[in-house]
Structure 1
């Protein structure tokens, strides 16, 4: 986790054209986006599906949620180890290995719905996802100049968000139409295909990586600058709590509305579409209006309001008095939650990159991803425990209150950093 990184030259002979090689339309950046889309489809198709598969096998809701927790736990562990691995083998190979680990074990879900086996497969897939996420977000900063970080992060957010817009609702829908087994195979093949563009990515120089990765003449020299934990703590905590609410809703809303699959599909689509739009708009606005790091408060409020609406929808649905109202509230809540979380994702990542040295982009990427995936995993287990004890309404409400609790400290941190 403590490894430092140096941006280096590409192995392509055309790397002399710096403008072409470091723009949003450059070949390396397009390859990154393509690999990201394929890998993330393997993740999003199964995020709500594996817990439902566990419930079909006889597991209770809280136990089923542990499949997401195991996946995210392995993801976080891999993210802590990712900087050292990238230091040894480079971004391209690490991304490719991550994609292979994410996809290749997935068809094993077909063999059984027993919880211990599901946990084991989820752990293997989580290792791969951890490598993919750290490499992907770090490469945004490595392949682009600082002036394009906001828009680059927004474009990367589109590559992450499109699979979520399509994959989250499609996974549940396809399982209903074709069966779980077909979706497991689909979610296994796509990340394996991501290995192809990943291996075509440029080999960036990393200090200590050996002769094949010697720094270029214009690369900054590696140094042992202290890791900026304090500077990253505020955006990391916002990421953690926003992801906790997101993970809880994505995991347990399909169970809350299990008798109305159309509502589940609509809410998951709304969350994903709004997240994609929120992240992209945050990047564009942040670059053009110099607002990087100033949008976290907006994201917190939007996401918390969305969680309150999801809680209200669960309350109305439980009463069965107005099913159409419950569906409308759930979709509206999902839209606000997704939009707010998208803003938080982009702004937190950009402000982290601005608060570290260029040699520490890999570290900042790992910290950001740890917050995202730890929060998603905790959402599955904490919200699950609250569901068992107090019901869906109390669980979703508690996640909204937790997120709002960090709003004052986040705003204070942003004001302090600007001064």
Structure 2
């Protein structure tokens, strides 16, 4: 009887469509993450400066910022399928176009255009995932859904660098494009919810008010993420570490541990049990990176950073979408990921400029500052609302 009551009170998470959107997200993330750590290196190979290396990440994320709220609105008005598939096609075409990049200026322009496809496809993917996840298990569901980016982080950077070293940059672009094609094939099998054009949804802004605060917190948090992901290979090389692949592996292992664990805890105990220790762990990881001189030090930092970021991000995402109308989920996801992308973009450009002056080490000390701001914002949210989340 107890087991039966538990089954009734806890709706199933692993439905057919949840599995399909999770698999599709995995291949999309593989295509994205495969390119992310090598693009700054590619920019330098084309004759770009360290600042330009940061810009190839920054312009990509800023174009994603532009398209995300528009995508959210289109998802709510016209449904998920067409927007998602169009974003994937655009994303894949841009990956193929990297074959014909003659110089740094064209690369920056193409990266800006590419960000539109990524922003549209990833916003649609997250919205579809929230559609097919039971509300009472939203934190847990987003934790598992987020593992797609975790797994891709473990595989894609190492795979991309290995392909680059053995076969050249063109082969990396081909494998990335193939991954997008697999994502598109899976996306065609998903049963999409029809658009719910309610009066509230039709009159709504392209931004969802309830998602602004978690979006602001993630903005400051991902400023540090931009430092870690964009410059870790270059920083490690400066320290005499030629193979930084193990950093991404232990980072991914930590994310695998923390995402579902803290996602489930945030559903049961509230957001603070995931967000507060998670932000503190991110701060500690950045300080470890600042003092690191060996691969083991980098790996310890990667593990701690993975634990922290894996705890915070799903909880903030659940906070952004949990209480919105189904017809406003696209806007809520768009609003949240605008903050996510702005943080990465501002971080990449800022830390690139800092590295130009001080070298790479100092950016990991300075990156603690926006994380502290994120922590204070979250504590301020509790006081402002009088709730304990």
TM-score (norm. length: structure 2): 0.89
| Paired position in structure 1 for 2:237 | 258
Among 119, 126, 145, the residue aligned to 1:156:
145
Matched, 1:97 2:65: no
Among 167, 174, 195, the residue aligned to 2:156:
167
1:223-234, aligned counterparts within 5 Å? 224=203, 231-234=210-213
Among 299, 313, 319, the residue aligned to 2:278:
299
| Paired position in structure 1 for 2:260 | 280
Q: Is the 8 A contact 2:158 2:245 kept in 1?
A: yes
1:120-161 per-residue CA deviation (whole Å, 9 max, x = no partner) reads: 221232111111221122122211221121221112111222
Aligned length: 377
1:286-333 per-residue CA deviation (whole Å, 9 max, x = no partner) reads: 23x3323542111111111111111112xx4xxxxxxxxx22221111
Cα–Cα, structure 1 residues 45 and 113, in superposed 2: closer, same or farther, change >3 Å?
farther
Matched, 1:340 2:301: no
| Paired position in structure 2 for 1:176 | 165
1:381-418 per-residue CA deviation (whole Å, 9 max, x = no partner) reads: 01101111222222111111221133233123235333
Shift of 1:267: 1.6
Q: CA RMSD in A?
A: 2.4
| Paired position in structure 2 for 1:143 | 132
Cα–Cα, structure 1 residues 153 and 223, in superposed 2: closer, same or farther, change >3 Å?
same
Among 338, 341, 345, the residue aligned to 1:377:
345
Q: Equivalents in 2 of 1:227, 1:183: separation in Å?
A: 36
| Paired position in structure 1 for 2:38 | 49
Q: Is the 8 A contact 1:65 1:381 kept in 2?
A: yes
Unaligned runs of 5+ in 2: 1-7
| Paired position in structure 2 for 1:330 | 298
Matched, 1:414 2:388: no
Matched, 1:73 2:58: no
1:53-84 per-residue CA deviation (whole Å, 9 max, x = no partner) reads: 11111111111111111111111111021023
Q: Equivalents in 2 of 1:401, 1:222: separation in Å?
A: 37
**SS in structure 2 at match of 1:418:** coil
Cα–Cα, structure 1 residues 300 and 250, in superposed 2: closer, same or farther, change >3 Å?
same
Q: Is the 8 A contact 2:154 2:251 kept in 1?
A: yes
| Paired position in structure 2 for 1:6 | none
**SS in structure 2 at match of 1:105:** helix
Among 247, 261, 269, the residue aligned to 1:290:
269
| Paired position in structure 1 for 2:356 | 388
Q: Is the 8 A contact 2:96 2:177 kept in 1?
A: yes
Q: Equivalents in 2 of 1:88, 1:204: separation in Å?
A: 12
Q: Which moved more, 1:113-122 or 1:345-354?
A: 113-122
Q: Equivalents in 2 of 1:117, 1:166: separation in Å?
A: 28
| Paired position in structure 2 for 1:14 | none
TM-score (norm. length: structure 1): 0.83
List 4+ stretches of structure 1 deviating above 4 A.
Answer: 220-231, 259-263
Q: Which moved more, 1:55-64 or 1:166-175?
A: 166-175
Matched, 1:133 2:130: no
1:22-73 per-residue CA deviation (whole Å, 9 max, x = no partner) reads: 8422221121112111111110000011111111111111111111111111
Matched, 1:242 2:212: no
Q: Equivalents in 2 of 1:223, 1:87: separation in Å?
A: 8
Q: Equivalents in 2 of 1:409, 1:190: separation in Å?
A: 38
Q: Is the 8 A contact 1:106 1:121 kept in 2?
A: no
